[in-house]
Amino acid sequence: MSARSPLDDERDHLAASRAALRAMRADAEALDIRDVTANWVNAEVLASEIGLRIKSLADLAGTPLFFGRLDYSEALDEDGEAGHRFYIGRRHVHDADGDPMVIDWRAPVSQPFYRASKQDPQGVELRRRFGYEGGELTAYEDERLSDPAEEAKTSALLQREIERPRVGPMRDIVATIQPEQDEIVRSPLSGTVCVQGAPGTGKTAVGLHRVAYLLYSHRERLARSGTLVIGPNRSFLRYIEQVLPALGELEVKQATVDELVAHVEVRGVDGAAAAGIKGDARMAEVLRRAVRSGVRMPTEGLVVVRGSRHWRVPVYELEEIVRELAGRDMRYGSAREALPQRIAHAVLVRMEAAGEAPDDRVQNAVARTPAVKAVVKECWPLVDPAKLVLRLLSDGDFLAEHAEGILTPEEQKEILWERPARSVKSARWSAADAVLIDEARDLVERTGSLGHVVLDEAQDLSPMQYRAVGRRCSTGSATILGDIAQGTTPWATESWAAALAHLGKTDAVVEELTQGFRVPREVIAYASRLLPAIAPELSEATSVREAAGSLEVRLAAPGGLDAAVVAACREALEREGSIGLIAADARVPALAGALAEAGLTHLAPGQETSADARLTLVPASLAKGLEYDYVVLDDPAAVVDGEPDERTGLRRLYVALTRAVSGLTVVHAAPLPDLLATAAAA
């Protein structure tokens, strides 16, 4: 009989942990709630909570229950009960006695798995990483952190994870989070973190893991206040949507900025100039003035009749009340609600002076009298945010009155609709208009704040969009992720300080990630030739990938661009993994036709790749945040020309060039943009 290997022991622990998880799930399923719930509503709530717990206890086939082990040199508690060996996994698993078999990666004891080093072992003697095939344990790798003689080496398991083919949606990185990433993941809930990172440095991954970490550490608080992940578009959200559920977090909302502010139906499109002005932070002041413009001073005194008595409040006193409220830092709507009570109070003071003893009920009754209501209507009229914005964009005089000294006459003209809209319903609202309405709504009534918001691809937001996001975490915190070099909107931010100011998070810490996990060295170097033109202050990312990757630039024969692109796709399909054909948006229909003609089926971004459907045709405008094992890039010059100005075009090209995990083939008919071509020749 052969001797048992350490791997056999680990497999036994895995089998035992799986059995323990099944038992935990069976316990949850067997919970009888009939006796503990007094009423139907409670029963429903409890049943749904138990349902979620059962779901979260599922042993996901194919994902390992634990991926690491820590042996501390000493037991972590005084009586030695807690032991000194911990298996680190996606969720907590305990045996029938309640003793831990697997510790959640987010627990404090797990932290050294990510951060301990030879220089700072953090009490850890041995760190073991496990390798898996499917759900089966196949390998392990040890580091003896307290042994100075052992050489530090890079983890082969980490390399394998980074270099695995990428078919399917984004996966979690919980087994291989790097120390500098972990610091961001575990930064406290109270603070906002802003991460600048080159393509593929793991910003999205880090943001999602931070949400999972925060939910673990502050479960109750965040369950009450809510968490939200904001991404650039639906296809991106579909690409990332399975990461949090895989980490056991099923209740995080995901949305685009457009969806957050969807108060009206968006059917119109602004030109770049109009969108830029509408997205400018100066619009906040224009709106503030416009909302407040309805406030009027009363024209006559008030008479309230109660029984046989007439109570009079002179006009100057009403004026004082209105002026005092207008001077307060209150939402328009709250002030409007306070006004009748203030007026009623003035009446009550008179009643008391006359020897009456009115109570709160009398004050409420006075506040509701037609006379008081009439004053409120005259002095503090209701504001409908959408109607207000409609008027600003339709009525030049109204706009001029409130934009005076803020927007130039040319700017005012630029945002005025050519044909004034008749109604909120019929107006051709643009995405930027919806953000203005959201701002106006917040001036009338405070927008509720969530506990934590993750904003991905943050560089692309306009100042007004930042404000819309900022008010959704005004009393909470945020994780802001982005890359200035990938800003492709005309209003993309030039500095994180400016973005954070618009978000209302000036105390945020800005961190930088520079290790790239996606793009091969040669490819990132090629793309980085564009940096001097698109973000001169940023330095090139490194690549931690060891596999060389491939980069090829092909000039198509005259008239043969489509054929050359199809040929490149065919070649890529001979290899393992996903393929993205990225092209200028305008080229997409032609390429879709060429692929179909060649008998190559293709997907659209957001549709899940599978072993049988691996080729996605990606319009350059949707490439951001996505990745493919092989990228075929159609005509870079067309990608650049598809944007209103050259810098934006080059940034769009930079995004497209940095989607490849293993190989990039650039196929061009038109000459390459100078920066790519010149450096290539050098």
Q: Is 475 within any annotated ligand binding site?
A: no
147-166 binders of ligand ATP (CB under 6 A): 161-162
Nearer to ligand ATP, 233 or 430 (CB): 233
| Whole-number Å distance between alpha carbons of 303 and 311 | 6
Q: Which of 627, 626, 634, 557 is nearest to 595 (CA)?
A: 634
Size of the site for ligand ATP (CB under 6 A): 21
Please, what is the minimum distance in Å from the beta carbon of residue 378 to ligand ATP? Answer: 54
Please, what is the minimum distance in Å from the beta carbon of residue 642 to ligand ATP? Answer: 19
| Whole-number Å distance between alpha carbons of 160 and 132 | 11
What are the residues whose beta carbons fall under 8 Å from the beta carbon of 604, sequence distance 6 or more?
235, 616, 617
Give the amino acid at 362. Answer: V
Residues 555-558: contacts with CB under 8 Å, at least 24 apart: 555/668, 555/669, 556/667, 556/668, 556/669, 558/669
Nearer to ligand ATP, 385 or 520 (CB): 520
Query: Can you tell me which of 68, 89, 100, 197 binds ligand ATP, judged by CB under 6 A?
Result: 197
Q: How many CB atoms lie within 10 A of CB 538?
A: 18
Please, what is the minimum distance in Å from the beta carbon of residue 250 to ligand ATP? Answer: 20
Helix and strand numbers, DSSP H then E, in the chain: 29, 21
Site stretch for ligand ATP (CB under 6 A), options 149-157, 177-185, 245-253, 497-505 = 177-185
CA-based radius of gyration for the chain:
31
Query: Can you tell me which of 17, 110, 196, 201 binds ligand ATP, judged by CB under 6 A?
Result: 201
Q: Is 636 within any annotated ligand binding site?
A: no
Query: Can you tell me which of 17, 176, 196, 412 binds ligand ATP, judged by CB under 6 A?
Result: 176
Please, what is the minimum distance in Å from the beta carbon of residue 186 to ligand ATP? Answer: 14
Q: Give the phi and the psi of residue 511 in degrees, each rounded to 5.
A: -110, 155
230-259 binders of ligand ATP (CB under 6 A): none
Q: In degrees, to the nearest 5, what angle opens at C-alpha 299 toward C-alphas 294 and 304? A: 105
Nearer to ligand ATP, 178 or 233 (CB): 178
| Whole-number Å distance between alpha carbons of 650 and 654 | 6
Site stretch for ligand ATP (CB under 6 A), options 198-206, 265-273, 283-291, 390-398 = 198-206
Please, what is the minimum distance in Å from the beta carbon of residue 138 to ligand ATP? Answer: 18
Nearer to ligand ATP, 207 or 340 (CB): 207
Order of strands, edge to edge, in the sheet holding 509-513?
Answer: 253-255, 227-230, 452-455, 477-482, 193-197, 509-513
CA of 82: how far to CAs of 13, 103, 228, 474, 508, in Å? 17, 12, 35, 40, 37
Size of the chain in residues? 682
480-499 binders of ligand ATP (CB under 6 A): 483, 486
The angle that helices 463-471 and 272-279 make with each other, rounded to 10 degrees, is: 40
Nearer to ligand ATP, 197 or 248 (CB): 197
Site stretch for ligand ATP (CB under 6 A), options 81-89, 200-208, 347-355, 609-617 = 200-208
CA of 662: how far to CAs of 86, 202, 633, in Å? 35, 16, 14
Query: Can you tell me which of 71, 439, 627, 629 binds ligand ATP, judged by CB under 6 A?
Result: 627
Nearer to ligand ATP, 207 or 642 (CB): 207
Nearer to ligand ATP, 241 or 483 (CB): 483
Q: Is 200 within any annotated ligand binding site?
A: yes
Nearer to ligand ATP, 169 or 504 (CB): 169
Nearer to ligand ATP, 518 or 602 (CB): 518
640-659 binders of ligand ATP (CB under 6 A): none
444-483 binders of ligand ATP (CB under 6 A): 483
Q: In degrees, to the nearest 5, what angle opens at C-alpha 530 toward C-alphas 529 and 536? A: 100
Please, what is the minimum distance in Å from the beta carbon of residue 625 to ligand ATP? Answer: 4
Q: Does 503 help bind ligand ATP (rule: CB under 6 A)?
A: no
Chain residue whose CB lies nearest ligand ATP: 202
Query: Can you tell me which of 88, 102, 205, 427 binds ligand ATP, judged by CB under 6 A?
Result: 205
Q: Is 203 within any annotated ligand binding site?
A: yes
517-536 binders of ligand ATP (CB under 6 A): 517-518
Q: How many CB atoms lie within 10 A of CB 577?
A: 18
Q: Which of 51, 67, 57 is nearest to 92 (CA)?
A: 57
Please, what is the minimum distance in Å from the beta carbon of residue 675 to ligand ATP? Answer: 20
Please, what is the minimum distance in Å from the beta carbon of residue 501 to ligand ATP? Answer: 23
| Whole-number Å distance between alpha carbons of 625 and 12 | 40
Q: How many CB atoms lie within 10 A of CB 210?
A: 23
Q: Does 178 help bind ligand ATP (rule: CB under 6 A)?
A: yes
Burial zone of 78 (CB within 10 Å; 0-12 exposed, 13-18 middle, 19+ buried): exposed
Q: Is 648 within any annotated ligand binding site?
A: no
| Whole-number Å distance between alpha carbons of 253 and 473 | 14
Site stretch for ligand ATP (CB under 6 A), options 1-9, 203-211, 430-438, 643-651 = 203-211
Nearer to ligand ATP, 199 or 470 (CB): 199
Give the CA count within 13 Å in the CB-facing half-sphere of 191: 14
Please, what is the minimum distance in Å from the beta carbon of residue 481 to ligand ATP? Answer: 7
Helices (H), 101-200: 111-115, 156-163, 179-185
Nearer to ligand ATP, 21 or 458 (CB): 458
Site stretch for ligand ATP (CB under 6 A), options 194-202, 355-363, 459-467, 504-512 = 194-202
What beta strand segments (E) does 153-306 contain?
193-197, 227-230, 253-255, 302-306
Nearer to ligand ATP, 477 or 486 (CB): 486
- To the nearest 10°, report the CA torsion of 110, 115, 121, 126: 50
Site stretch for ligand ATP (CB under 6 A), options 202-210, 251-259, 356-364, 524-532 = 202-210
| Whole-number Å distance between alpha carbons of 401 and 395 | 10
Binding residues for ATP: 197-204
Interface ranges with ligand ATP (CB under 6 A): 161-162, 173, 176-178, 181, 197, 199-205, 483, 486, 517-518, 625, 627
Binding residues: 197-204
